[in-house]
Amino acid sequence: MSQENIYIRFDWAMKHMLRDKSNFGILEGFISVLLGEDVKIVELLESESNQETDTDKFNRVDIKAKNSKGHLIIVEVQLTRQLYYLQRILYGTCKAITEHINIGEKYDQVKKVYSISILYCDYGQGDDYVYHGETRFKGIHTGSDLLVNTKEEGVIVPHLPREVFPEYYLVRVNVYDKIPETPLDEWMTYLKTGKVKENTRTPGLQEVKKKLQYLSMSTKERRAYDAHMDTIMVQNDVLDTARDEGRAEGRAEGRAEGRAEGVAQVARNLIEAGMEDKMICGVTGLSQQDLESIRSSTK
């Protein structure tokens, strides 16, 4: 691929470029293709993970937005595996809901939340590259969906629970491996390889070609971007090596004890590699207290 056709990775764009209103079209295009409906972003909301250093931002980067319907949309790129990832995205949607309803307001002010996770790590087992989760209330005998009445502008309107409860999308970038045939496939190709089809008409990707070209960055921006990509490569290598060594240690110790020792060994390897405590805890699922205990035992 020639340098003219190299486009900036999505996680970097989310941190540095997609927060600009003039670039909302890229994010709108991706969300619209994924959800299967036209999405217009009205504003970006304050996000909890706006740290600035490469180490802080290596694990994940996210954007929280409000669309024209008043729904909240969380788009998150996850770069390393996390043991309690499902629990964390559940917490994230609950936090978004509670942050956007004031004490004393009626429950009709609760916002619908879409949580979209773009995973660049091996997470779970399955034969698809996109998974969708929603809350449905089904009759245990009839299998029929429950309709719940709510009041909107003085009129009683029936709603399915999934129209109110959060929805989750897990986009598994690493397992995508096919020739693009649909707009979603084209987005998956870009997310995985940075390639965009020359004559694409897919929403958002036309804007990617115009605004996220590698050569359009200044020399300073390009150096920062190259350093970011180098960090990802090094960190992935460190994590893979640590996990392999931890698994080997665990197999030698037996099943139950071995699993615990395997996690501890991964933590030791990451400590030796100089990784920050917060990230080690995220990767291994250990608490800070457990990590301190492991560190003390190795001295």
User: How many whole angstroms separate alpha carbon 286 and alpha carbon 184?
Assistant: 36
pLDDT of the residue at 275: 72
Average pLDDT over residues 21-40: 94
- Take residue 276 and report the two structure tokens written for it: 């920050």
Supply 201's token pair. Answer: 């008409």
Query: Residue 285: which of 98, 6, 85, 69 has the closest Cα?
Result: 85
Q: How many CB atoms lie within 10 A of CB 271?
A: 17
pLDDT band at 254 (very low <50, low <70, confident <90, very high): very low
* C-alpha–C-alpha distance, residues 64 and 6, integer Å: 27
Pick from 166, 28, 170: nearest CA to 98: 166
Per-position DSSP letters for 249-294, written without gaps between them = HHHHH-SHHHHHHHHHHHHHHHHHTT--HHHHHHHH---HHHHHHH
Q: Please state, in angstroms and rounded to a whole number, the distance separating the CA atoms of residues 265 and 257.
A: 12
In the chain the first and final C-alpha atoms are separated, in Å, by 49
Contact, 74 vs 96, CB < 8 A?
A: yes
Q: Give the tens place of pLDDT for each residue, 138-170.
A: 999 999 999 988 877 778 888 899 999 999 999
pLDDT band at 255 (very low <50, low <70, confident <90, very high): very low
Of the two residues 112 and 290, the one the predictor is more confident about is: 112
Cβ atoms of residues 262 and 250 within 8 Å: yes
Long-range contacts, 208-213 (Cβ 8 Å, 24+): 208/7, 208/26, 209/7, 211/17, 211/23, 211/26, 212/7, 212/8, 212/13, 212/17, 212/26, 213/4, 213/6, 213/7, 213/8
What digits encode the pLDDT tens for the residues 57-114?
Answer: 445 678 999 999 999 999 998 877 777 889 989 999 999 999 888 777 888 788 899 9
For 293, other C-beta atoms within 10 Å of its C-beta total 14
Place of tokens 């009839």: 142
Taking alpha carbons only, the member of 124, 144, 128 closest to residue 136 is 144
AA identity, residue 167 = E
**CA gyration radius for the chain?**
22
Q: So what's the pLDDT on residue 268?
A: 79
SS3 245: helix
3-state class (DSSP) for residue 107: helix
Q: How far apart are CA 111 and CA 231, in angstroms?
A: 37
> pLDDT tens for residues 223-240?
776 666 666 555 555 555
Cα separation, 282 vs 114, in Å, equals: 23
Q: Phi and psi for 90 in degrees, rounded to 5?
A: -65, -45
Residue 258 has pLDDT above 70, yes or no: no
How many residues in the chain? 299
Q: Is 3 exposed, middle or buried (0-12, 13-18, 19+ CB in 10 A)?
A: exposed
> What pLDDT shows up at residue 57?
44
